[in-house]
Amino acid sequence: MTFPILSVITFLPFAAGIFILMLPAHRKNEARAAALATAVIDLLLSAWVYVQYLTQDMMGYQFIEKYTWLNIPPLNIALHFGVDGISAPLVLLTGIVMFTGVLISWGDDDPHVMAGIQDRPREFFAFLFLLAGGVFGVFVSLDLFMLFFFYEIAVFPMYLLIAIWGWAKTREYAAMKLTLYLFIGSVVALVGALVMYWTQYQNTGVLSFDMLEMENAGFSAAFQNLWFLPVFLGFAVLGGIWPFHNWSPDGHVAAPTAVSMFHAGVLMKLGAFAALRVGVMLLPEGAKHWSWLIMLFAGVAVVYGAYIAYVQTDLKYMIGFSSVSHMGLVMLGISTLNETGLLGAGVQMFSHGVMTALFFAVTGMIYDRSHTRMIPELGGIAKVMPFATIGFIIGGLVSMGMPGFSGFVAEFPIFMGVWGEQWLVAVIASISIVITAAYIMMNIRKVFFSPMPEKLEGHIGDITMLDKVAITTLCLFMIGIGVFPSMMVPMIESGVSYIMTLLGGA
């Protein structure tokens, strides 16, 4: 028997969370150290999975583990794990965000700074790891029931994390709004999944929640057209698709830094991934039928999100809306249903995850020290926090889609793919590149390089060593993918080619 690496990756955070909860409440540093150790192990394991997938033959699902969980007709649920070319990068992404999130939550005991999590860090890390375990679970699950199981686990800790440790002004409102939006989306998709289960049984006589089986369930075109939208949009709510994106910026703003990183970096990918995995791959005919609507929604999200980001004065809202815009690009790539577009969507999921985690990390560092996120009140950060400034600029370049960074590798194929389907959408969506460049550069100038306001003078110190490690890690991945696309592109291509066979090779 081989080492059950995916199970270990998934269940380690849960076990660690329980362990951390059992530590005495006043042992804050021990809780942090245990969290960091767990995050490092999970990062290494997920990197191992990634490298193994990349270096061996890149085909189909690998690292497969299958244990029957409940097989009492008419129910059949299995713990079926495996990764393909789409999900392996996302597992790695979760490992990266988990690692850096723990680092920047470590905190700084300096009473002027009070960065990171000082109040009840034990509970914080436990809930954060519950979330992380749920996210890993969704990315590796090949069983629809288990996918939902982990999906819901990934949703509800958000409520606590935002409501307890969030920004006092809006946290209650934002946390409840976020949870309700996501829960509505997921239960709507759940109905679709149950209907698919029984319809599969009627069609083929197979009773199984296994998604690899469901791909051959022979759903009729009418069935697919009816259920594609509820399933796809139900998940896509978490991907921040317009017009259901409203929860997302509010949630980003209210959340503490590490949770914002998780939220924008990983959770939104969870939505897009599940929409792709369940919506497009199980109901391909429905996807073809409705792709115009998804493309419309995504196109609006791209341009509208970028424009709203442009007019924000709160740094976190700006990044929040830029996430909506960038996730719109992912959805746009998915809606093309062609090889190039899906490839771009796959890379964009990874690239945006790392980039936005970096943005939120830097914003959190600035806020912890200056106690404001309002862009007009900030300035001259480059002088006191040079390292964070470099990180933010690299993130900005990725965001604009500059060649040499991962953003370019992602956005270029998306626009190519869209051009192939509907050139007008590509033209309109490309406006967003200009707007993005405008707001990123404007903010870099104002926040980092304009003269520092008197109020802040002398109050701001540099970031900690751990923060620097986190920023470096994130930057390395963005530059690495940009300079050596072969580290990721062939892998995602292998995943996409499988989706293309499901779509009928079109």
Query: Which of 322, 297, 352 shows the shortest CA–CA distance to 437?
Result: 322
- Does 149 interact with other proteins (rule: CB under 8 A)? yes
- Of 101-109, 193-201, 274-282, 466-474, the window that binds other proteins (rule: CB under 8 A) is 193-201
Which x/- pattern, by CB under 8 A, does the window 282-321 give for other proteins? ----------------------------------------
Tell which one of 40, 194, 206, 428 touches other proteins (CB under 8 A): 194
CB crowding 73-94: b at 16 or more within 10 Å, else e: eeebbbbbbbbbbbbbbbbbbb
Q: Which residue has the tokens 């007709």?
A: 73
Q: How far is the CB of 220 from other proteins (least distance, A)?
A: 17
- Of 194-202, 283-291, 401-409, 469-477, the window that binds other proteins (rule: CB under 8 A) is 194-202
- Does 200 interact with other proteins (rule: CB under 8 A)? no
Token pair in block for residue 139: 């990315």
Nearer to other proteins, 179 or 348 (CB): 179
Cβ within 8 Å of residue 375, ≥6 positions away? 312, 313, 314, 315, 318, 443, 446, 447
Tell which one of 102, 135, 160, 362 touches other proteins (CB under 8 A): 160
CB crowding 213-234: b at 16 or more within 10 Å, else e: bbbebebeeebbbbbbbbbbbb
**What gap in Å lies between CA 504 and CA 239, rounded to an integer?**
26
- Does 500 interact with other proteins (rule: CB under 8 A)? no
- Of 30-38, 70-78, 410-418, 427-435, the window that binds other proteins (rule: CB under 8 A) is 70-78
- Does 195 interact with other proteins (rule: CB under 8 A)? yes
Query: Which of 209, 339, 183, 338 shows the shortest CA–CA distance to 282?
Result: 209
Residue-wise DSSP of 227-294:
HHHHHHHHHHTTTT-TTS-THHHHHHHHS-HHHHHHIIIIIHHHHHHHIIIIIIHH-HHHHHHHHHHH
- Of 44-52, 173-181, 331-339, 428-436, the window that binds other proteins (rule: CB under 8 A) is 173-181
Q: How far is the CB of 43 from other proteins (least distance, A)?
A: 24
Nearer to other proteins, 140 or 456 (CB): 140
**What gap in Å lies between CA 13 and CA 17, rounded to an integer?**
6
Which x/- pattern, by CB under 8 A, does the window 108-147 give for other proteins? ---------------x---------------------x--
- Does 197 interact with other proteins (rule: CB under 8 A)? yes
Question: 155 with 182: CB under 8 angstroms?
Answer: yes
Give the footprint of other proteins on residues 2-21 (CB under 8 A).
21
Q: How far is the CB of 286 from other proteins (least distance, A)?
A: 17
Nearer to other proteins, 65 or 84 (CB): 65
The beta strand positions in 179-231, using DSSP E, are none
Token pair in block for residue 73: 């007709």
Question: 293 with 301: CB under 8 angstroms?
Answer: no
DSSP 8-state assignment for residue 429:
H
Which x/- pattern, by CB under 8 A, does the window 387-426 give for other proteins? ----------------------------------------
Tell which one of 49, 93, 153, 276 touches other proteins (CB under 8 A): 153
Tell which one of 44, 51, 59, 70 touches other proteins (CB under 8 A): 70
- Does 148 interact with other proteins (rule: CB under 8 A)? yes
**Peptide bond preceding 74 in cis form (omega within 30 of 0):** yes
Q: How far is the CB of 194 from other proteins (least distance, A)?
A: 5
- Of 178-186, 271-279, 309-317, 357-365, the window that binds other proteins (rule: CB under 8 A) is 178-186
Q: Which residue has the tokens 């419309």?
A: 296
Which x/- pattern, by CB under 8 A, does the window 23-52 give for other proteins? --x---------------------------
Q: Environment class of residue 328 by beta-carbon count within 10 Å: exposed (0-12), middle (13-18) or buried (19+)?
A: buried
The 3-state DSSP class for residue 117 equals: coil
**Peptide bond preceding 243 in cis form (omega within 30 of 0):** yes
Site for other proteins, rule CB under 8 A? 21, 25, 69-70, 72, 74-75, 123, 145, 148-150, 152-153, 155-156, 159-160, 163-164, 171-172, 176, 179-180, 183-184, 187-188, 190-191, 194-195, 197-198
